[in-house]
Structure 1
Amino acid sequence: MKSLILKGTVAAAGLFALTSVAAAQVEATATADLNLRTGPGTGYPVVDVIRSSEQVIINGCDEGGSWCSVNHAGVEGWAYSGYLATEQAMEVMPRTTYETTGAVEVEVVPPPREVITEVAPPPREVITYVERNRVEPIYLEGEVSVGIGLPETVEVYDIPDYDYRYVYVNGRPVLVEPQSRRVVYVMP
């Protein structure tokens, strides 16, 4: 796999500064494959992928405790706290704020590890079936992404003559691997 070096101008959301109430760092484990982003929200670009069961260091979390500034194998970024397991409650984590700076030219080098792999796009008849058999969506905090596990209480629905099941999460149809209950494809 070739490494790509991307150069660009990052305005406003590009570089972040951290202000922490406490200097203590906390170890956490990802409970699902999780995107590491340049800022605290799904609108920020992905800079890395934290695989399920990998460790990160939490530098601090935003005031609401929903997003945390983390270090994953030397890559700094923001991860959704709903998929991070720690021995401490998110409410007692050190607090961090996200601040933007002016435009800065940065060099982004993707990490050497593979990106999350999803299953191949489903055949047209599967997409049609899921669209015509819409079910009541479930709502989970955070972003819908490949690799998240669904709670046992979430009902997933069969697709005739197909290996995967489906459900609508946060209004989006997703394919689910029935044994692991992990999302393997998010439909556009």
Structure 2
Amino acid sequence: MKLTTLTIASVMALGAALPAVAQTTTAKAGTELNVRDQPSPFGAVLGALEKDQEVTIDGCLQDISWCKISSGSMNGWASGQYLYVEENANAVPLVDMSGAAETVTVIQQTEEGTSKTDQNVAATATGTVGALTAFALGGPAGAIVAGAIAGTAVGAAAVEPTEDTITYVTANPVETVYLDGEVVVGAVVPSEVTTYEVPQPELRYLNINGLPVLVDAESGTIVRIVR
């Protein structure tokens, strides 16, 4: 897969711009957020951003589903759904800028042979494939960002994993399940996906897209990514 960066001048606005948002070159992570080597939930994880960590936006895909970011020594791709900018004291997810931000550099995806993403998807043809649902606090997908700003971070009321539970997950790896969507705290795992017991009955675990996670046993909501 070849990624071609289009200059700002070559990007035509598809709608009215969001004044301060459209002109920004920085954003913040609305939750603990993976940084990947390509714009895909199946890309290799290079590191993770802390909640509210500031990043520089080097460019985004046309729909702003993924943005190329840098923060300190970390460079890679992050989900636009969980990056936000502040506008009049409100958190505005970058993904809401799709089609409206003529001053955001657009990175165009073009196929050149078989990409790593293609290979990963092909490898999961016989596995479990579903989708992660963004957990919104009284709003649509993306409200997780606003909730984090307001101090009502998703999972705050969840049972805190003990050291014994973390050790158990690390010592007992399970087969990876591939799901469409970024793996973040607060995302909900489809009910049909198999999860496994841990020492704490309130929690269960599984491996999503290569990342071990603990979920709430009742709701399937991700409460911890075990790194």
CA contact 1:25–1:57 (8 Å) conserved in 2:
no
- 1:1-188 → structure 2 map (5 Å cutoff): 17-21=4-8, 25-87=24-86, 89-91=96-98, 92-93=100-101, 94=104, 95-98=106-109, 119-122=166-169, 142-145=181-184, 148-150=185-187, 162=200, 164-166=202-204, 174-176=213-215, 183-185=223-225
State the one-letter code of the partner of 1:27: T
- What is the root-mean-square deviation of aligned Cα atoms in Å? 4.5
SS in structure 2 at match of 1:56: strand
CA contact 2:168–2:198 (8 Å) conserved in 1:
no
CA contact 2:34–2:183 (8 Å) conserved in 1:
no
Distance in 2 separating the partners of 1:25 and 1:164: 42
Distance change >3 Å, CA 150–CA 37, structure 1 → 2: closer
CA contact 1:62–1:96 (8 Å) conserved in 2:
yes
The CA deviation string for residues 76-133 of structure 1, in whole angstroms up to 9 with x for no partner, is 31111111112353313412224689xxxxxxxxxxxxxxxx9333499xx9xxxxxx
CA contact 1:26–1:58 (8 Å) conserved in 2:
yes
CA shift for structure 1 position 70 = 1.0
Distance change >3 Å, CA 100–CA 38, structure 1 → 2: farther
CA contact 2:30–2:84 (8 Å) conserved in 1:
yes
Distance in 2 separating the partners of 1:183 and 1:38: 24
Distance change >3 Å, CA 57–CA 164, structure 1 → 2: farther
Distance in 1 separating the partners of 2:85 and 2:26: 7
State the one-letter code of the partner of 2:26: E
Distance change >3 Å, CA 34–CA 177, structure 1 → 2: same
* TM-score of the aligned structures, taking structure 1 as reference length: 0.50
Distance change >3 Å, CA 177–CA 19, structure 1 → 2: same
Distance in 1 separating the partners of 2:57 and 2:80: 10
SS in structure 1 at match of 2:108: coil
SS in structure 1 at match of 2:78: strand
Percent identity between matched residues is 25
* TM-score of the aligned structures, taking structure 2 as reference length: 0.43
5+ long unaligned stretches in structure 1: 1-11, 102-117, 128-139, 152-158
CA shift for structure 1 position 149 = 2.6
Distance in 2 separating the partners of 1:51 and 1:170: 20
CA shift for structure 1 position 27 = 1.6
